[in-house]
Structure 1
Amino acid sequence: MKKFKNTSEVEPYDGIIGQERAVSAMQLGLKMNNPAYNIYVSGDCGSGRITYTIKAIQSQQIDESKIKDWCYVYNFKDPRCPVAIDFPAGKGSEFKEYMEDLIESLTEEINDAFENEEYELTKNKLLQTYEYEKEKLLKSVRNYGKEKGFKLKSSSSGFIFMPINDNYEDEISAEEFCQTKKELEEMAIQVLYKLKELEERVKQVVIETENQIGKLVVVPYIEAAKKKYSDNKKVINYLEELEENILEYIYMFYLDEDDLKDKYDKNYTLKYEVNLFVSNENFSKVIVENDPRPSNLFGKVEYEYQNGNLKTDFTKIIPGSFHKANGGYLVLYVDQLLRYANTWELLKKALKTGQIDIEGQGFINPMPIPVDLKIILIGSRYLYSLIYNYDPEFMKYFKVFVDFDDEMDKNEKNEDAISGFISYQCEKNNYRHLTYDAVKQIINQSMRMVEDKSKLSTNFNKLMDMIDEGNLYAEIDGSKYIEKRHIEKAIQAKKYRIDKIEEKIDESYKRENTLIDITGKQVGVINGLSVLSTGEHTFGKPSRITVSTACGSKGIVNIEREAKMSGSIHNKGVLILEGYLAENFAQEFPLSLNAYICFEQNYGGVDGDSASSAELYALLSSLSNIGIKQNIAVTGSINQKGQIQVVGGIPKKVEGFYYCCKHKGLTGDQGVIIPANNENNLVLCDEVEEAIRNEKFHIYKVNRIEEAMEILTDEKFNIIKELSIEKLKKYSEYKK
């Protein structure tokens, strides 16, 4: 890291650090103009994956021709299927306003036209003509009936003829009476037909007159609208159907409110409204949907109750995130997406069909809208593997995997980038700047987080925690800069907040409630090392492992397994012991023994194979009857050939045994045996590092079982092996 006094001298850096692989994949995914190249972003929380994803999207150039406004309008041919019309971004609201003004102007002018005195005179004249012709026809029927001795009366079913004289039936024959009445009724029927024809003719003339007047008002407006939107075929089709509908129902425009209320739908202009479904006047390149339920993603149709009935219309179609992000990018969180049973299938359907369907529950089925966007899923590696393995179509639509690493190389470039990041955060948050030593302490802590001297953590959230809290302690001290001691205090204060369980365990060692010896030698007893995690806090603790051997044929008995407290990896580690024993101790006679292995005072279960070497050392001690030093704890897994293999959690394990020894009394000869290949993981806290430098605590690095056994027993391995073979021979003879 380049030298500086404080981070105010460092150029601020706001980019992504140590994620070259992820950056390369992201750039490919964003630039690839292919609907199958959607992106899955994986990585740990705090790695900057979300921040970087948003910034990377914002830096992309958008094809503005893809950005559209969408409006839904009434479908005059099929009201259940509203029509979707697209416009250039920002023009949808203009169309909505234009149509509102058009309908308002038409309403006023139609009212004026039909309230015109000339129209009223024409209409009245037609009605008077109808009444005159009607009366003329009825008069001819009455007169003829009177000549025949009948009078005409109207009824609900039509006209009837009654004799004028009550004695008329007696004056003529029955046959003549019936014949005359029948003749008159037939005449009346003919008159009714003529009246109906007359009424229809007059009505048609009125309609034609209304239509002529309506056209004079409506057509100029519609033609002007068609001219304005001549380049949009969908609008032209809509305007033509709109014109036809207005002329057909033109009387709705001039009826007074009482007539509308009593006879017709008062809200008759609803079908002439425009639903501005998506407006991209202020287009956002990226939409982040935090609640990806189907309605939020793909839109919905809202409903309301009217007189106990569920009703809706095209103005109640609501857009989803797919519609809002159309032409840009949609970011979804996988863990949230998978909470809803059918969301994943609907998402694939949209990608497969290239359109977004809105479910209208059978009331209305809006016209689908074409989809042209890129989807970015953000989730864990586990969920990526889960979807990949269980859905064969996943890779068909998400071809780009952007994998954020949880660590990066510890080199000058990355250290300088972290310094720039800290400088940027100080400027952004108006914090005090950090001294060189304070930045170095943060980098050391970053190294401890990944437990590797050659790596740094990419969890910048945790780095920011140290800066946030360090700034507070610097403010309390009245310091001009955030110094190393403030960062150390922030680290220790956080540890104190979350290490209650560790303290309780340390207390149990002090009180000897948990039995651990750190001096002397014991046969078949060894101090193994394990790691416990309580949420955010992880720490190491020593565990006593004991082995008892006897003649028999059960082989190695894992007491933890028998008690159902052992995990599969631990079980495998124990089984490897049998392979090692068979190759090294049973070439001349069959292996026959009972060996019982136990983690003493273990009540929470055991897993992992990092104790397999400790279990073998204790087993060899029991067989050879040679004591093992209790001042040395061990960790490391073994293979069947006796090699010591790397394990995780080395710093925590070493520190765990150191603090146990400290609480019970440091003697200067205590230490830990670790695999030699784990040397790079010895990223220890300052106190333990100092104790090692001052030779108050020791680290022993081994490659093979033989090396470790000689350190633990101060005996040559050949002697241990010979004594073990002698006992195993006896066990074999006892079996015979």
Structure 2
Amino acid sequence: MLVYKNTSEIEPLESILGQERAIEAMEIGLKINNPAYNIYLAGEPGTGKTTYAMKALKKYSLEKDTHKDWCYVYNFEHPREPIAIGLRKGSGKIFKKDIEKLIETLLDELIEAFESEDFELSKNQLVEEYEIEKDALLKQIKKYGEEKGFKLKTSKVGMVFMPIEENGEEVDDDEFYKLKRELENMAIQVAYKIRDLEDAAKDALLDLEEETAKYIIDPHIDNLKEKYKEYEKVNLYLDNMRKDILEYVYLFYMSEEELKDKYDKEHFIKYKVNLFVDNGGDKENESAPIITEINPSVSNLFGKAEYDYNNGSIKTDFTKLIPGAIHKANGGYLVLYTDQLLRYGLSWDILKKTIQTRKISIDTQTSITPESIPIDVKVILIGDNYMYNLLYHYDKDFSKYFKILVDFDNEMDESEINRDGIARFIALQCEKNKLKHFTYEAVEEVIKFSIRLSGDSFKISTQFNKILEIIIEGDAYATIRNAEFVDKDDVKKAINERRKRLSRIESKMDESLENGFTLIETEGCRVGVINGLSVLNMGEYSFGRPSRITVTTSPGNKGIVNIEREVNMSGPIHNKGVLILGGYLSENFATDFLLSLNAYICFEQNYGGIDGDSATGAELYALISSISKIPLKQNIAVTGSMNQKGEIQVVGGITEKVEGFYYTCKKKGLSGEQGVIIPKNNRRNLVLCDEVSDAIRDNKFKIYEVENVKEAIEILTDMSFEDVKKKTIERLKEFSNINKKLKD
């Protein structure tokens, strides 16, 4: 047990409190490296499940080192299918810069090479050689033609031979036609040879250009291939890039104006690298990624492509691919909130498919289809037990892929260890939020509040968000007092003021009671009338209220009529409770004659409907009172469910119910005789405020614990159960005889 005057003297809480079972489940779930062993964290809000989950994930992320950088690059073989390349974390940014530097370098060096004197000399030499061979062919055919009496003339359509007269005048003699045709055929052959020479010259120029380009390009490409030799896809990409640059090398030495006027200005986009997922090299990224997505739409979760709009058409490319949360979490952990995820039905379906196939594709809804990326991620869903049960029973795939349930309890044992844990939790919050420290007595008051939250005197609530609210508000009241520490009065004030802020409806109902609009009696006796107890929930605030239950009976065959049910204001559980009354009456009061009666049960001034079975006992007592004409005490309210054998069963909200009747009696005047009958097994659930506890201790208010109907009836009537039973049977026999006479 901790010994301290205030929480500044104790070590702050570093671990989760009261969740040993959940911690064990989380540990095994994180240790199992299997795609089906994803985790569902269930529990009420405020139990610390999210805080614990992030702390546990951070611990395990330090031990995991499988996350990578991912890049998308242009696919030179299939342009509409961008290639995904995975690299060691921190290498993606370097690879992107290396490719950018490569293209910049090639642009500079290729321009320099193709504008160099050596290249011009080699180019001119090839052109000169072509011209020499061309001239030689033309001279040869010209000389031959002249020897035969023809001169060579060139025109737009080619070469033409014309005959020459002896005196220098042209002649058109038939004997030369045959020779002319021979010469023209020779001219055609020469033209073909010249064309072949031109093609050979062009090829030679292209070869020269390619060899010059290779001389510049290959060393740079080879250096990168050596640098990234462990990545087969990078080497293949570099080889294909080399081929493409050589094919379009002329674009590298064109001016910007020429590129803009004659060619696609976006040609060089294909040489870019889209650093899709960057896990960097900084300290934050040394551990596996932990990604929380609070808006898991399809695009946020699985990525998307951005678009350019131009004249009504859309256009995209691999550089516009944007990663989703699952890409960023690859190699680590993805945290999702169930209620948010299930708002996007398609996201849930794609997530299950991703877990099954272990790869993820981006649906761009355009002409490009990016290559899928392999996924190694553990998904953690955070939700409540209700959603877990729904998914487990109605989604056949859920249990396949989420095999680990981490179930956070909303309470823990009221033990010395856990009481010390609450003190250390307060110490942590004081340091974390820079609050005033709490005295020992203030801590004890917070513990009392947390026990009350649990609704069990042997349990402490683990709804730390509500406990934290009292801590923060207690600090505020201590600050107003200008005190050094928060004491128990500050905590009490925080609790009471919080109740006051939330109790508007309760106050309105109190006014109705004081003004006589709501009919409740807390003194005297009445036949067929009893004060039942109910709990009203107003969001996070709940309070108890007495409800007058009345019963009227007469001879007949309708049996027990639930008036609320007849007007559709009764829920199924309440209906069941009313039917149980008939079973109890038959077995205990009508074993040797036919049970014949009309009984009408009503919750007076009930305008909002009713459900639950906690008023079953009260309804039975009022029913027996109406039949037997034995009055019931109005100073004693009743709560408790019952079975057909007359055993009183536990109910919920017992603390609020007792306090609700106490405050009603207080407003109408405490007599010292008022009290509440509760199930004996509910005793541990009674966590009363100081005022009510003090009133009970001082005999100003009473608690009666019962195990069966007999005990309760004796308290309400001051008669033995056998006497009450006798009178009840007599009346039921009268009803039965009347019914027989009416039938006869």
TM superposition score normalised by structure 1: 0.93
Distance across 1 between alignment mates of 2:628 and 2:487: 56
Aligned to 2:263: 264
The aligned amino acid for 1:735 is N
SS of aligned partner of 1:60: helix
Distance across 2 between alignment mates of 1:500 and 1:726: 49
> Which has the larger displacement, 124-133 or 578-587?
124-133
Q: Structure 1 residues 674, 138: CA separation in 2 closer, same or farther (over 3 Å shift)?
A: farther
Structure 1 residue corresponding to 2:335, chosen from 331, 338, 343: 331
The aligned amino acid for 1:616 is L
Task: Give the share of equivalent positions with the same residue, in percent.
Answer: 55
Distance across 2 between alignment mates of 1:318 and 1:557: 66
> Which has the larger displacement, 281-290 or 190-199?
190-199
Deviation at 1:307, TM superposition (A): 4.1
> Which has the larger displacement, 644-653 or 427-436?
427-436
Aligned to 1:373: 377
Aligned to 2:547: 543
Q: Does 1:694 align with 2:693?
A: no
Contact 1:26/1:402, CA 8 A, preserved across alignment: yes
Structure 2 residue corresponding to 1:716, chosen from 717, 720, 742: 720
Counterpart mapping for 1:44-59 below 5 A = 44-59=44-59
Contact 2:150/2:161, CA 8 A, preserved across alignment: no
Q: Does 1:306 align with 2:310?
A: yes
Structure 1 residue corresponding to 2:455, chosen from 437, 442, 451: 451
Q: Does 1:346 align with 2:345?
A: no
Deviation digits for residues 578-631 of structure 1 (CA, Å, limit 9, x no counterpart): 111111122111211111111000000000000111110110000001111111
Contact 2:161/2:183, CA 8 A, preserved across alignment: no
Contact 1:65/1:88, CA 8 A, preserved across alignment: no
Aligned to 2:169: none
SS of aligned partner of 2:630: coil
Aligned to 1:80: 80
> Which has the larger displacement, 504-513 or 277-286?
277-286
Deviation at 1:3, TM superposition (A): 3.9
Contact 2:64/2:332, CA 8 A, preserved across alignment: no
Distance across 2 between alignment mates of 1:606 and 1:305: 59
Deviation digits for residues 194-235 of structure 1 (CA, Å, limit 9, x no counterpart): 554343322211111111111111111111111112222221
SS of aligned partner of 2:60: coil
Deviation at 1:127, TM superposition (A): 4.0
Distance across 1 between alignment mates of 2:538 and 2:83: 57
Aligned to 1:322: 326
Distance across 2 between alignment mates of 1:457 and 1:403: 15
Contact 1:7/1:422, CA 8 A, preserved across alignment: yes
Deviation at 1:658, TM superposition (A): 0.7
Structure 1 residue corresponding to 2:565, chosen from 561, 565, 579: 561
Q: Structure 1 residues 623, 201: CA separation in 2 closer, same or farther (over 3 Å shift)?
A: same
Q: Structure 1 residues 649, 187: CA separation in 2 closer, same or farther (over 3 Å shift)?
A: farther
Distance across 2 between alignment mates of 1:189 and 1:502: 113
Deviation at 1:41, TM superposition (A): 0.4
Aligned to 1:638: 642
Q: Structure 1 residues 110, 592: CA separation in 2 closer, same or farther (over 3 Å shift)?
A: same
Q: Structure 1 residues 195, 475: CA separation in 2 closer, same or farther (over 3 Å shift)?
A: same
Contact 1:559/1:598, CA 8 A, preserved across alignment: yes
Q: Does 1:295 align with 2:322?
A: no
SS of aligned partner of 1:78: coil
Aligned to 1:506: 510
Structure 2 residue corresponding to 1:659, chosen from 653, 660, 663: 663
Q: Structure 1 residues 138, 573: CA separation in 2 closer, same or farther (over 3 Å shift)?
A: farther
Deviation digits for residues 262-299 of structure 1 (CA, Å, limit 9, x no counterpart): 22122332111111111112425311111111211221
Distance across 1 between alignment mates of 2:251 and 2:65: 40
Deviation digits for residues 409-457 of structure 1 (CA, Å, limit 9, x no counterpart): 0000000011111112112222211111111010001111111110010
Distance across 1 between alignment mates of 2:29 and 2:193: 78
Q: Structure 1 residues 181, 447: CA separation in 2 closer, same or farther (over 3 Å shift)?
A: farther
Distance across 2 between alignment mates of 1:264 and 1:554: 95
Contact 1:442/1:466, CA 8 A, preserved across alignment: yes
Distance across 2 between alignment mates of 1:483 and 1:317: 58
Distance across 1 between alignment mates of 2:710 and 2:369: 77
Contact 2:145/2:161, CA 8 A, preserved across alignment: no
Contact 2:556/2:596, CA 8 A, preserved across alignment: yes
> Which has the larger displacement, 670-679 or 428-437?
428-437
Contact 1:142/1:151, CA 8 A, preserved across alignment: no
Distance across 2 between alignment mates of 1:85 and 1:575: 70
Q: Does 1:234 align with 2:229?
A: no
Q: Structure 1 residues 470, 124: CA separation in 2 closer, same or farther (over 3 Å shift)?
A: same
The aligned amino acid for 1:565 is M
Deviation digits for residues 77-128 of structure 1 (CA, Å, limit 9, x no counterpart): 1111111122111111111112211221111111111001222233244445
Aligned to 1:275: 274
Q: Structure 1 residues 197, 554: CA separation in 2 closer, same or farther (over 3 Å shift)?
A: farther
Distance across 1 between alignment mates of 2:183 and 2:532: 123
Aligned to 2:224: 225
Distance across 2 between alignment mates of 1:183 and 1:505: 125
The aligned amino acid for 2:628 is S
> Which has the larger displacement, 344-353 or 182-191?
182-191
Distance across 1 between alignment mates of 2:700 and 2:51: 46
Counterpart mapping for 1:82-97 below 5 A = 82-97=82-97
> Which has the larger displacement, 307-316 or 66-75?
307-316
Deviation at 1:163, TM superposition (A): 11
- The size of the alignment, in residue pairs, is 725
The aligned amino acid for 2:273 is V
Deviation digits for residues 705-736 of structure 1 (CA, Å, limit 9, x no counterpart): 11111111112211221222222222222322
Q: Does 1:403 align with 2:407?
A: yes
Aligned to 1:204: 203
Q: Structure 1 residues 120, 307: CA separation in 2 closer, same or farther (over 3 Å shift)?
A: farther
Aligned to 2:168: none
SS of aligned partner of 2:362: coil
Distance across 1 between alignment mates of 2:76 and 2:113: 25
Counterpart mapping for 1:596-615 below 5 A = 596-615=600-619
Distance across 2 between alignment mates of 1:626 and 1:186: 140
**Structure 2: segments with no counterpart, 5+ residues:** 164-171
Deviation at 1:501, TM superposition (A): 0.2
Deviation at 1:180, TM superposition (A): 12
Aligned to 1:168: none
Aligned to 2:99: 99
**Structure 1: segments with no counterpart, 5+ residues:** 165-170
Aligned to 1:167: none
Contact 2:142/2:151, CA 8 A, preserved across alignment: no
Distance across 2 between alignment mates of 1:188 and 1:393: 82
Aligned to 1:38: 38
Deviation at 1:64, TM superposition (A): 5.2
The aligned amino acid for 2:723 is I
Contact 1:613/1:644, CA 8 A, preserved across alignment: yes
SS of aligned partner of 1:72: strand
Distance across 1 between alignment mates of 2:144 and 2:532: 128
Counterpart mapping for 1:50-199 below 5 A = 50-60=50-60, 62=62, 65-127=65-127, 130=130, 154=156, 193-194=192-193, 196-199=195-198
Distance across 2 between alignment mates of 1:323 and 1:731: 77
SS of aligned partner of 2:230: coil
The aligned amino acid for 1:600 is E
TM superposition score normalised by structure 2: 0.92
Aligned to 1:704: 708
Counterpart mapping for 1:10-25 below 5 A = 10-25=10-25
The aligned amino acid for 2:78 is D
Distance across 1 between alignment mates of 2:190 and 2:555: 126
The aligned amino acid for 1:95 is F
Q: Structure 1 residues 126, 711: CA separation in 2 closer, same or farther (over 3 Å shift)?
A: same
Q: Does 1:574 align with 2:596?
A: no
The aligned amino acid for 2:704 is Y
Q: Does 1:587 align with 2:586?
A: no
> Which has the larger displacement, 114-123 or 184-193?
184-193
